[in-house]
Amino acid sequence: MLRKLEGYGYSIAYYVLGCEDLAAEATRAALLKAGCDREIGAMPAEAQREKFARLAMSAAIAVRRERLLRQAE
């Protein structure tokens, strides 16, 4: 299931971040969160995509925030 969602999450993260390295980092974070979520495996495919899209978006924002904080230091 996570393999199917990986490319989708990457495209979302890349759209938000505009950087391949950061998008890959955000995608990994979203996949880790999805892997720990017991509910996502029992959902229909479309609901899985919607939930993973939210996870990918949140992870992308978190990665961007971390990068900005590191640059500010």
Global pTM?
0.88
Q: Please report the pLDDT score of residue 15 as a whole number.
A: 95
For the chain, percent of residues with pLDDT exceeding 70: 100
Residue 38, phi then psi, degrees to nearest 5: -70, -25
Contact 13, 58 (CB under 8 A): no
pLDDT digits (tens, 9 = 90+) for 12-29: 999 999 999 999 999 999
pLDDT surpasses 90 at 41: no
What does the pLDDT average to over 62-70?
93
